[in-house]
Structure 1
Amino acid sequence: MTSRVVLLCHAATRATRRAAFPADEPIETPPPPAPVRADTYLTAPEPSCRQTAAALGLSATVEDTLRDCDYGTWRGRTLDEVTAADPAGVTGWLTEPSATPHGGESTLDLIDRVGSWLDGLPDDHRKIVAVTHPAVVKAAVVHAILATPRSFWRIDVPPLSRTVLSGQSGRWTLRTPVG
């Protein structure tokens, strides 16, 4: 059977506006309530995701696996600040998916975590809406289309965007949104 997973990126935060590594901040402007039909609603545990789900009127269950990437010592700092302080670390992080110069989670570990979650979903023909982070959405896409981990950096996920995957464990298809 085929399931459908709609990954909904949380609303904009101060970090997204500043090009900073997230630090569990709240959303800046709640989205207007909108009907989003599904059998199951999930949300990452961070405030930005829980607030986005609530603003959309979704009664979502917290799913810890959908948490944001752990950026370690870079949390709350802008990319420019980190690049000025540690240019070699940033270059390594952007070019080597297993790198963790910040002491947190590597891109490769994030892709593995999110891919395991996707492949562990029941094959029961249900629709799941999950409110989560840009990095988690990117990791899901890389896993779903069997892209290389370096492809992670070639995916842009804006606030409130929807990414749709359909399929089942180990066989996912990226669907483009319908008008």
Structure 2
Amino acid sequence: MRSGRFPADEPLDEAGVRALAEVTDFPRADRVVCGPELRSRSTADIFGSDVAVEPALADVAYGRWSGLEMTDLPDADAMAWLGDPAFTPPGGESLEALFARVRTWLDEVGSTPGRTLAVTAPAVIRAAVVLVLAAPLSSFWRVDVAPLTRTSIHRRGSLWTTDSVAQKSL
């Protein structure tokens, strides 16, 4: 959530466009996939036209909270969202559902040969990191992922590992 607002399907803002134009260290990949949101697709465009949209990499569905600020929510809802991974925003998706979706995608991509580069929302990356570390779902809020950062995870046999989380791109 940039600026404390639950994202909707908004485009990159001017600062994001400028920051994206400055990225020069493109990782090597055999395939590039991205979440379906406009901001993920726009970011993935720097890798060329051969980018596949992957629905499993969609940001959390915030439902009727999309576009709202955390302070717009009733206190009980805000506390439930931050404290209970099973809590579902009205018309949205729980963090448990996000984790299940990301776990399924990791299982699928982990059995695909080669390197996959995924361009997606910070919430999806947070979920992947928590899953890789086999940490409790409540750890989700302890992983900070800023826009235009790189997180690297690798499949080693049946286990996932990470060697960097939210590293700034150059």
Task: Report TM bin, short chain.
Answer: 0.7 to 0.9
Query: Map of 1:28-177 to 2, 5 A cutoff?
Result: 28=13, 29-30=16-17, 31-32=20-21, 34=24, 35-57=26-48, 59-82=50-73, 86-167=74-155, 170-176=158-164
Q: For residue 20 of structure 1, what is the aligned residue in structure 2?
A: 5
Match of 1:176, SS state, is strand
Q: Aligned partner of 1:77: which letter?
A: L
Number of aligned residues: 161
- Normalising by structure 2, report the TM-score: 0.86
Query: Which residue identity does 2:53 align to in structure 1?
Result: V
Give the Å deviation of 1:100: 1.1
Residue identity over aligned pairs, in percent, reads: 39
Aligned-partner SS, 2:151: strand
Residue 102 of structure 1 and its aligned partner are, at CA, apart by: 3.0
> After superposition, what is the alpha-carbon deviation per residue over 1:103-135, rounded to whole angstroms, capped at 9, x for unaligned?
311111101110111012253541110000010
Please report how far the alpha carbon of residue 70 of structure 1 lies from its aligned counterpart in structure 2 after TM superposition.
0.5
Alignment check: 8 A CA contact 2:109 2:116 kept: no
* CA positional deviation for 1:41: 0.3
Task: Find the residue that maps to 1:41 and give its secondary structure.
Answer: strand
Which residue of structure 2 aligns with residue 12 of structure 1?
Answer: none
Q: TM-score, normalised by structure 1?
A: 0.82
Question: Larger deviation: 132-141 or 160-169?
Answer: 160-169
CA distance in 2, matches of 1:115, 1:79: 27
Higher helix proportion: 2
Check the 8 A contact 1:43/1:53 in 2, yes or no: yes
